[in-house]
Amino acid sequence: MGKVSVFNTLSVDGYFTDVRGDMSWAHKTDPEWIAFASDNAKGGDGMLLFGRVTYEMMASYWPTEQAKKAAPLVARGMNDLAKVVFSRSLDVATWNNTRLVKTGLEDEVRTLKRTSQKSMTILGSGSIVSQLAREGLIDEYQLVVSPIVLGKGRTLFEGVDIKLPLKLVRSRSFQNGNVVLWYEPA
């Protein structure tokens, strides 16, 4: 059975994007963080799940020469992994190994969990995270708390109108101030 994980960076005050949708504040370039991100991005035979906005952002960067030079292992993982983009408005998904799903987010993820042995990771894609969290379809949350306060922005769980008790299963802190927290549903 496939497992669905979320990997997202949050500000100390709980936002995953600022008010303009910018996430550049989340990117760190120190060697310790790059090593962690590279190891995390290897992904093996995993699959990435995206909403349209995150898909378009990722697809515009990771296939570029700049990305391949800046973070070669991450770029290879991002480009080689199977990807599913959920979008009602996108007409075509051209990034390598990407399949477009236009309707039925929750049903599609249920089917993937039941029929695939691949681990599935959601990057960004707050609306996807909140919809799947409400349905109990997320098995693990890897939340990176970054040492910045944004004041305003989008929370990862906008629209979640139920309590989602979580259990901390692991944590790791980095010299750059990031703290990664691994949670599972309680």
Q: What is the pLDDT of residue 35?
A: 86
User: Above pLDDT 70, what percent of the chain?
Assistant: 98
Candidates 158, 162, 163, 135; CA nearest to 8 is 158
Instruction: Count other C-beta atoms under 10 Å from residue 123's C-beta.
Output: 22
Q: What are the extents of the domains in the chain?
A: 4-185
What is the spatial distance between Cα 175 and Cα 165, in angstroms, rounded to a whole number? 29
Q: What is the pLDDT of residue 42?
A: 64
Q: What is the CA radius of gyration of the chain?
A: 16
Tell me the whole-structure pTM to 2 decimals. Answer: 0.91
Highest mean pLDDT among 31-35, 76-80, 92-96: 92-96
Q: Which residue has the higher pLDDT, 71 or 6?
A: 6
What is the spatial distance between Cα 87 and Cα 2, in angstroms, rounded to a whole number? 22
HSE (CB half, 13 Å, CA atoms) of 125? 25
Average pLDDT over the chain reads: 92
**What six digits make up the tokens of 31?**
């060697």
- For residue 30, give the 3-state DSSP assignment: coil
CATH H-level, domain 4-185: superfamily: Dihydrofolate Reductase, subunit A (3.40.430.10)
pLDDT at residue 44 tops 70: no
pLDDT classification of 74: cutoffs 50, 70, 90: confident
Q: What is the pLDDT of residue 135?
A: 94
